[in-house]
Amino acid sequence: ASASDWQKRTVYQVMTDRFALPPSEDAQGKTCDASAQLPCGGTWSGIQNHLDYIQAMGFNAIWISPIVSQLQVPLPPPADGTAYHGYWPENIYALNDAFGSDSDLRSLINAVHSRGMYIMVDVVVNHMATYNTTSPSAAPTSPLAGISLNGYNPFNQDSDYHSFCPITDYGNQTMVEQCWLGSAAVPLADVNTEDQATVDLYYSWINTLISNYTFDGLRIDTVKHIRKSFWPGFANASSVFTLGEVLDGDAQYVGDYTNYLDAVFDYPGWGMILQAFQTTGGSMSMLAQSIQNTSTYFKNGGFSTGSFLENHDQPRFPSFTNDTGLIKNAIAYTFIGDGLPIVYEGQEQEYSGGAVPNNREAIWLSAYEQDKPLFKHITSLNMARQAAMNGSSSFLSTHMKVLSTSAHSIALAKYPMLASLTNIGQGSQGQVSVSVGSLGTGYSANSQLVEVLSCTEVNVDGSGNLAFTTQQGAPAVFLPSSMVNSKVCTNL
């Protein structure tokens, strides 16, 4: 599937080891202590068995953890833990048998496709993970000292890697690209992607992987750690939508990568969402500025981004605040903009784990409860986005605009959707006051709207003013009444 196919979707991020146990073990109430960094037993068959849960929230795409065979470390594990997450490749031509068999994976992909959903696979091509047997407490001093490449496929020679050097200065781009991530105990041996044979090998690997399994898209790990000129050929060889991870807060730095891949995660915007909604003192004008930066520095502005509030690498949002007003606003932000909305498993359950590894709680511990407030909130946002898309053919090609900001609120329009977000907090009522007529939002005086999160009807007055009061610091998302069906609001 292409970038424009994906633009119509919303994505649920599945961390395979933590989402669902295989059907035979599902009811056994197995525990999972995220802090132990050990495999908890989630599998591809588990995901397949719980697609209803994901679809019930309105998602029509999933992103799964990397699928290839992983480095095994001795137990008890080193400080970095084990490869339960899938980001420690050792053999890129074999599947990770902890997640199931080849036929389990194919069965999952078929099940996803038969529901009309897409599946995105995560891939790691910057490094192979290694275990330093000689001095796991000290940094390696020479290339691959203490490391055996027995069993690696491919890249089982020292010469397949850049010479060892740790990344110590993220401001030095050559170092970022050619030195090594990871720790002394588990160095992530940096593949020599300057070598043309290695480049060709990766291009052919991704081409085969995609055609063999019919994945619809790629989440690409560690994009800033390989030279930019590597990426267009890789993306072409995959022939599907590419969404890259460039972990940096600078919009200009991150945005340039959209000239090499279809899209990148909106890490700069994420930082601004955090500052805006983490407390009742966040700045709305800084958030507005970041929207401006996205339009300046990203190819097609926000259209070339993946929009997220949480992922498996960052502390969960409710670890910063338990104010449900703030949490709902921050989640809403990811659904009303130009980027591809992505929700990390567990957000719907209001999981609140802090930094890695505590942000990787098993979802089965929630019993896949569908009555939770955030499960319903996310469902409403998915339904509203779908209704906007169905209601107006221009929704997907219209850039979100900032209408106004005030101390505690920001009004945003992406016709036919109009939103007002606030960081006033759950203890307060919010006053929405927007003049719609003069702003090119597509609304006019006397329009009949529905605020779709509370399912309340509201009319724009004769002079084009929209006034609305939100309760408990909630966000407000409006659509024209004519577009609101019973999937969005059962009472209407």
Q: Give residues in contact with ligand ABC (CB under 6 A).
A: 80-81, 85, 87, 124, 170, 181-183, 186, 221-222, 224, 245, 247-249, 271, 312-313, 356-357
Q: Is 177 a catalytic residue?
A: no
* Alpha-helical segments (H) within 76-144: 102-114
Question: Minimum distance between the CB of residue 180 and Ca ion, rounded to whole angstroms?
Answer: 8
Query: Which of residues 91 and 178 has its CB atom nearest to Ca ion in the complex?
Result: 178
> Does residue 9 belong to the site contacting Ca ion (CB under 5 A)?
no
Q: 315: cis peptide before it, omega within 30°?
A: no
d(CA 143, CA 154): 18
Token pair recorded at residue 457 = 């009807």
Question: Minimum distance between the CB of residue 299 and ligand ABC, rounded to whole angstroms?
Answer: 20
Closest CA to 298 of 332, 343, 267, 271: 267
Residue nearest to ligand ABC (CB): 249
Q: Check residue 29 and give left, alpha or beta (phi > 0: left; psi -120 to 50: alpha).
A: left
Cβ partners under 8 Å of residue 210, min gap 6:
218, 238, 239, 240
| Residue 78 one-letter amino acid | P
Query: Which of residues 75 and 367 has its CB atom nearest to ligand ABC in the complex?
Result: 75
Question: Of Ca ion, ligand ABC, none, which one does residue 361 interact with (CB within 5 to 8 Å by kind)?
Answer: none
Question: Of Ca ion, ligand ABC, none, which one does residue 377 interact with (CB within 5 to 8 Å by kind)?
Answer: none
Query: Which of residues 182 and 337 has its CB atom nearest to Ca ion in the complex?
Result: 182
Span from 137-145, 224-232, 330-338, 444-452 in contact with Ca ion (CB under 5 A): 224-232
d(CA 450, CA 41): 44
Query: What is the four-CA torsion angle of 309, 314, 316, 320, rounded to 10 degrees?
Result: -100
Query: Which of residues 35 and 204 has its CB atom nearest to ligand ABC in the complex?
Result: 35
d(CA 454, CA 431): 15
Question: Minimum distance between the CB of residue 73 and ligand ABC, rounded to whole angstroms?
Answer: 10
> Does residue 225 belong to the site contacting Ca ion (CB under 5 A)?
yes
Query: What is the four-CA torsion angle of 275, 277, 281, 283, rounded to 10 degrees?
Result: 60
Alpha carbons within 13 A on the beta-carbon side of 185: 12
Query: Which of residues 18 and 85 has its CB atom nearest to ligand ABC in the complex?
Result: 85
Question: Of Ca ion, ligand ABC, none, which one does residue 190 interact with (CB within 5 to 8 Å by kind)?
Answer: Ca ion
Pairing of strands 127-129, 11-13: unpaired
Span from 123-131, 227-235, 322-330, 379-387 in contact with Ca ion (CB under 5 A): 123-131
Question: Minimum distance between the CB of residue 157 and ligand ABC, rounded to whole angstroms?
Answer: 21
DSSP at 395: G
Question: Minimum distance between the CB of residue 38 and Ca ion, rounded to whole angstroms?
Answer: 28
Query: Which of residues 225 and 408 has its CB atom nearest to Ca ion in the complex?
Result: 225
> Does residue 408 belong to the site contacting Ca ion (CB under 5 A)?
no
- Report the residue from 126, 324, 352, 441 that binds Ca ion according to the rule CB under 5 A: 126
Question: Minimum distance between the CB of residue 359 and Ca ion, rounded to whole angstroms?
Answer: 25
Catalytic residue among 160, 245, 310, 348: 245
Question: Of ligand ABC, Ca ion, none, which one does residue 111 interact with (CB within 5 to 8 Å by kind)?
Answer: none
Catalytic residue among 104, 177, 190, 221: 221
Q: Is 216 a catalytic residue?
A: no
> Does residue 122 belong to the site contacting Ca ion (CB under 5 A)?
no
> Does residue 245 belong to the site contacting Ca ion (CB under 5 A)?
no
Please report the sign of the dihedral spanned by the C-alpha atoms of residue 75, residue 76, residue 79, residue 85.
positive
* Segment 285-289 long-range contacts (CB within 8 Å, at least 24 positions apart): 285/405, 287/405, 287/410, 288/402, 288/405, 288/410
Query: Which of residues 150 and 168 has its CB atom nearest to ligand ABC in the complex?
Result: 168
Question: Minimum distance between the CB of residue 286 and ligand ABC, rounded to whole angstroms?
Answer: 14
> Does residue 316 belong to the site contacting Ca ion (CB under 5 A)?
no
Measure CA of the first residue to CA of the last residue in the chain; give whole Å: 35
Token pair recorded at residue 459 = 């009319």
> Does residue 216 belong to the site contacting Ca ion (CB under 5 A)?
no
Query: Which of residues 26 and 195 has its CB atom nearest to Ca ion in the complex?
Result: 195
DSSP assignments along 258-302, one per residue: GGTSSEEE-HHHHHHHHHHHSSTT--HHHHHHHHHHHHHHSTTGG
Pick out residues in 157-196 that bind Ca ion (CB under 5 A). 190
Query: Which of residues 126 and 290 has its CB atom nearest to Ca ion in the complex?
Result: 126
On whether the CB atoms of residues 426 and 280 are closer than 8 A, the answer is no
Question: Of Ca ion, ligand ABC, none, which one does residue 283 interact with (CB within 5 to 8 Å by kind)?
Answer: none
d(CA 248, CA 355): 17
Cβ partners under 8 Å of residue 230, min gap 6:
193, 199
> Does residue 422 belong to the site contacting Ca ion (CB under 5 A)?
no
> Does residue 224 belong to the site contacting Ca ion (CB under 5 A)?
no
Question: Minimum distance between the CB of residue 229 and Ca ion, rounded to whole angstroms?
Answer: 13
How many binding residues for Ca ion (CB under 5 A)? Answer: 3
Question: Minimum distance between the CB of residue 87 and ligand ABC, rounded to whole angstroms?
Answer: 3
The structure tokens 């970095």 sit at 80
Positions annotated as catalytic residues are: 221, 245
- The residues binding Ca ion (CB under 5 A) are 126, 190, 225
